[in-house]
Amino acid sequence: MNAPPILTDRRQLARNRARARRDSLFLHDIVADEFQTRLEMVKKSFTKPAIVTGMPDFWAGFMPGARIVADNEVLDLTPGAHDLVIHALSLHWANDPVGQVIQAARALEPDGLFLCATFGGETLAELRAALATAEIAVTGGLSPRVLPMGEIRDLGALLQRAGLALPVADSLTEQASYRDLFALMRDLRHMGEGNALADRLRQPTRRAVFDRAAQEYAAAHPLPDHRIAATFEIIFLSGWAPHESQQQPLRPGSAQVSLARVLGDKSDQIPH
């Protein structure tokens, strides 16, 4: 099997996260509230939780007693040790997201729950387009600047590949407003979400690129008061470690009532 491509410079990612500021982690607040709501709907007590995260200081307060695990390529999780594993808004930086979900699934005991939140493909679509248009116009080339993120169908498929039962994938879209492109980029740095792509440009970008991008952005995505809109799509994934108590699909041929009977036999109305 081929190794997954190296997408993320983990050392740069660690430096970016070290500069994160609590007052800019509003997306983590939103995700934490969503997780809490979903856990309350489950109506099950979890006594052995683990949280995989790149922001340990924030998530340590979410569920007192939970084991906080760094989102390294190899997760520090013991197979079958947890009844709940949460992957908290860091899967988008994984070089091997399939492997991350599989490792989390293996750490669950039977009937344990996996919850994940990660950024989806619509995230920062406005910024990606503005930067690409500006860089091509100013330099004639294009360099990686915004992390590519998965679509909900592809991310949902990870649950089945990991062998999780009752898989569910859904999304939440949040729109934030900023004074301009420079304010947005500054906030992304304060979130710890600056450019950590392995193939990123390693030399300073010409100011003209950012000035042109700011103009493109403001023209394409204006808000009242001369502000701009930024989209964040958050995809939530959930699945359960298989257990005999869970609802199972019927075996083929085991139905007690025919489909024709349910729908009403209308064979005499069909022309021959």
* pLDDT tens string 11-50: 999 999 999 999 999 999 999 999 999 999 998 899 999 9
What is the reported pLDDT for 268? Answer: 39
What is the tens place of the pLDDT at every residue in 147-203?
A: 888 899 999 999 999 999 999 999 999 999 999 999 999 999 999 999 999 888 888
Strand duo 49-53 + 67-70: pairing: parallel
Per-residue pLDDT reduced to its tens digit, 227-260: 999 999 999 999 999 988 776 654 555 445 444 4
For residue 47, give the DSSP letter: S
Torsion, Cα 163 39 30 50, to 10 degrees, reads -60
Neighbours of 41 (CB within 10 A): 8
Tokens of 156: 């949902």
Cα Dmax for the chain? 76
For 141-174, give the DSSP string: -----S-----HHHHHHHHHHTT-EEEEEEEEEE
- How does pLDDT run across 56-90, given as a tens digit for each residue? 999 999 998 999 999 999 999 999 999 999 999 99
Report the alpha-carbon distance of residue 141 to residue 154 in Å, rounded. Answer: 29
Mean pLDDT computed over every residue of the chain: 90
Domains of the chain: 10-124+148-176+230-269 (3.40.50.150)
In this model, does residue 266 exceed pLDDT 70? Answer: no
